[in-house]
Amino acid sequence: MSYEKSQQIFQAAQSLMPGGVNSPARAFGSVGGTPLIMQRGEGAYLYDVDGNRLIDYIQSWGPMILGHKHPAVMAAVENALANGFSFGAPTEGENELAALIIEAVASVEKVRLVNSGTEATMSAIRLARGFTGRDVIVKFAGNYHGHVDSLLVAAGSSAATLAVPNSPGVTAGTSQDTLILTYNDCQGVREAFAQHGDRIAGVIFEPVVGNMGCVIPDAEFLQTLRDCTIECGALLIFDEVMTGFRVAYGGAQSLWGITPDLTTLGKIVGGGLPIGAYGGRADIMDHVLPAGQVFQAGTLSGNPIACAAGSSTLRELRDNSPYERLEQLGDQLAAGLQQAATSANQTCCVQRVGSMMTLFFNPGPIRCWEDAAESDTEKFGKYFWGLIHQGVYMPCSQYEALFVSAAHTPEDIQTTIDAAQSVLASF
Ligand code: KE4
């Protein structure tokens, strides 16, 4: 396989965009080498500028659950394009997408459309603070919620819960109202609420983590979060930007049977076009301007083309549910990857919910960031590139989840397993 054109284009990008990319996740920072420049997608496949075909398990980091260029989504976007691109005025398509989200996610009574998952989480935590009149937000190490200043924090040196900035440009003042806890640590949650409960506006977390690799919450952890937030009058925010419509049509909350106060969404709700959303109890959402006083706005929020892509994607997921097939394909892939690692005497564990999963170079189980951080990222890099050379495109970091789409076939999965078998056997 040649990657010559990718290398030329990426080289040229270096003088145009920081690191040659518009999002660091694409820069192959943790696996090394030059990112592949993609030309087009078709179903389960991506084609790079050198004409290499790859079975795609990144799927634009989650949105492409139906696969690339799904006919129903293509038709909806083409129809919307015929009316123009953007008006800065309400359109009926926004009602349609909002109604689909409200119908699908039981806890969402009202929703606001924005342009990215980051905007959704940033707005949700502002709303939690505005609604409760409190300042403190709780998050968990290894959970990512977009590049929101107050959530770009790392565990502080003291008390393990005080957060400090983990990016230049984030001020101490911004991070001082963020508490950072350990995922799946019920005792830590109870202690933090005992100590700070009356100052906590909300807790935001990933109800299945994708951003430290796939990590699954314990039932007790979920219940502890719900109980503590109710007891202290804080809001529980499910960040379902990745899990929304991915792990189930109703999101992770429909699997876990926990009702959050607010939910953030993105990725799939836009069908691959820029959309985010936050929603929840109407009595909370009615605090958002112009219904209430919490400010949030956006020039392209509810963009007609993005809404058409999102609504057609959700309708397809609702009316021709792929979730049973995604569960079967996910199970086939997870079992095959685990078997490939075991037969190659590689110490790995696979953690999965539905069609999102991670092969960790780590004995596991992985329950929190401290566990995940023990993974062998160097081996992961070798595995990643070995698969690229065999036409399989996995997420370019140990700390991401791979995604199976409704366009993948059992044959694609078997091809992937065979490729993993030969790569791991070569270690
Ligand atoms: P965006 O602003 O990237 O649309 O969404 C931020 C976000 C919020 N919440 C969760 C749970 C997320 O996973 C994300 C974004 N996910 C990453 C990949 N894990 C996006 C990839 C990238 O940054 O390029």
Ligand 1, atom 6: closest residue by C-alpha: 146
Q: What is the pLDDT of residues 382-418, one digit of tens each?
A: 999 999 999 999 999 999 999 999 999 999 999 999 9
From CA 127, how far away is CA 413, in angstroms rounded? 42
Q: Which of 407, 77, 97 has the alpha carbon at shortest distance from 265? A: 97
Rg (CA), the chain: 21
How many CB atoms sit inside 10 A of residue 14's CB? 11
- Candidates 102, 119, 124, 103; CA nearest to 111 is 102
> Could you tell me the distance, in angstroms and rounded to a whole number, from the CA of residue 396 to the centre of ligand 1?
14
Using one digit for the tens of pLDDT, what is the confidence trace for 167-221? 889 988 988 999 999 999 999 999 999 999 999 999 999 999 999 999 999 999 9
> If you take atom 13 of ligand 1, which residue's CA is the nearest one?
242
Distance 333 CA to ligand 1 centre (A): 24
Give residue 40 CA to ligand 1 midpoint distance, Å.
Answer: 21
- Ligand 1 atom index nearest CA of 206: 11
DSSP-derived secondary structure letter, 271:
B
Atom number of ligand 1 nearest to Cα 24: 24
* Ligand 1 atom closest to Cα of residue 121: 8
From the alpha carbon of 266, which atom of ligand 1 is closest?
4
Q: Is 61 a pocket residue for ligand 1 (Cβ < 6 Å)?
A: yes
Pocket flag, ligand 1, residue 232 (CB < 6 Å): no
pLDDT band at 48 (very low <50, low <70, confident <90, very high): very high
112-163 confidence digits (pLDDT tens): 999 999 999 999 999 999 999 999 999 999 999 999 999 998 865 444 466 7
Nearest CA to ligand 1 atom 9: 145
Q: What integer pLDDT is reported at residue 66 of this predicted model?
A: 98
Strands (E), 121-195: 136-140, 153-155, 163-165, 178-181
What pLDDT shows up at residue 156?
55
Q: What positions carry a catalytic annotation?
A: 144, 239, 267
CA 408 – ligand 1 centroid, Å = 23
| pLDDT at site 161 | 60
Q: Going by DSSP bridges, is the β-strand pair 38-42/45-48 parallel, antiparallel, or unpaired?
A: antiparallel
Residue-range domains of the chain with CATH: 4-65+322-425 (3.90.1150.10), 71-319 (3.40.640.10)
